Every structure is written in C-alpha cells, then in structure tokens.
Amino acid sequence: MAPRYALAKRKAQQLLEQAGITKPPVRVESLAKHVGARIRYEPFSGEGLSGMAYRQPDGKLFIGVNALHPRNRRRFTIAHEIAHLVLHQQEDLHIDEAFTINLRSDLSSLAVDEKEIEANQFAAELLMPAAWLIDDVQDRQIDLESDGTAIEELAKKYQVSVQAMTIRLSSLGAARG
C-alpha cells in the first residue's frame, strides 16, 4: 500500500481547524489533548527511542515522549505520535525509534514503512502548514545555501528545527539550493 499523503495532509489541516489554531507556533500539547491523548515525558534510555503512542483497551490514549530530546524534537515527536493516533486507529501501540537528522525514522527514511511516512507528512503539515509557510515566503525564493538567517527565523517562528524547516521549504518548492 502506498503512503496516503493527501489523507495525512487533510487530517492535519482538519485538526488545526477544529482546534481553532490559525498561526504559528502550533501548540501540540493542546492538540494532543484535543484528540483525547495525555502526554507523558520520560527520560527514555539512549537516543534511539523518540516516542510512542498507546491506545488502551478502554480507549484512553497516551503519548510518550523522550524527555531527554531537545524541545523542537519533542514537539515533532508529539505531532508524529498524534498522527499515529489519528491515522492508524487500528494500532494499540506504536513505538518510534531512531529519528535521523531529517526527523524521520530509519524505516521512513528508506521509504518502506507507509505508516511512518504518513506520520511524518502529518507532523510536517501540522507544525508547518503549507498555506502558512507559503504566505510567509511569498514573493521571494529562499536559497537554501545563502538564506540561513531567513530559515532560522522561520524555524524559530514555527518552533521547529532548522533541518525540519529546510526540508519543509524544499518539499513545498519554496526554497532552492
């Protein structure tokens, strides 16, 4: 089965709309609460475990986040785990290990795990909605090699890593390099 990019994007946009969020930074903790999930920050051993989504038999939802990771990475992890709860409702437990530098799991970076690819697409759209970014960069083309300050400012505004912002701008065609 191929990743459902359009569904992931649409579900992220719907969640933002339902929660009344119209500008960055997106409050991912409130969105977790909005979908009925409680967040738990724990110092997971090692760098490998980023987060997990757990659906109890009684329907209660939990998101576990590695408290040892930097703030922006924790935000992405929460958005990614919300995606699993929203998009992959048939799963009771999902554990995400070893995000690489571009904020994708080892499997999704190989483009072989559709659920991971979908969750990353959802998280990117949730934290950096295409429409908002396009508004922020309209009338200018950002050069990935020479506009570091502009990318850093956008990353700060959206409270994401510079790497995540760079990837997002590039994937939207809003940057060249």
8 Å CB contact between 172 and 134 = yes
Q: In Å, how far are 10, 49, 123, 138, 170 from 141, measured between CA atoms? A: 26, 36, 24, 8, 10
Q: What is the pLDDT along the chain (177 residues), one digit of tens a residue?
A: 567 889 999 999 999 999 999 999 999 999 999 999 999 999 987 667 889 999 888 889 999 999 999 999 999 999 999 999 999 877 666 666 543 323 334 444 445 678 888 999 999 999 999 999 999 998 777 888 887 889 999 999 999 999 999 999 999 988 776
- CA–centroid distance for 8 within its chain: 11
Question: What is the token pair recorded at 84?
Answer: 């699993």
SS3 of 42, please? strand
Q: Count Cβ atoms within 10 A of the Cβ of residue 1 and give its class: 0-12 exposed, 13-18 middle, 19 or more buried.
A: exposed
Cα separation, 89 vs 22, whole angstroms: 26
Domains and CATH numbers, the chain: 5-127 (1.10.10.2910), 129-177 (no CATH)
SS3 of 8, please? helix
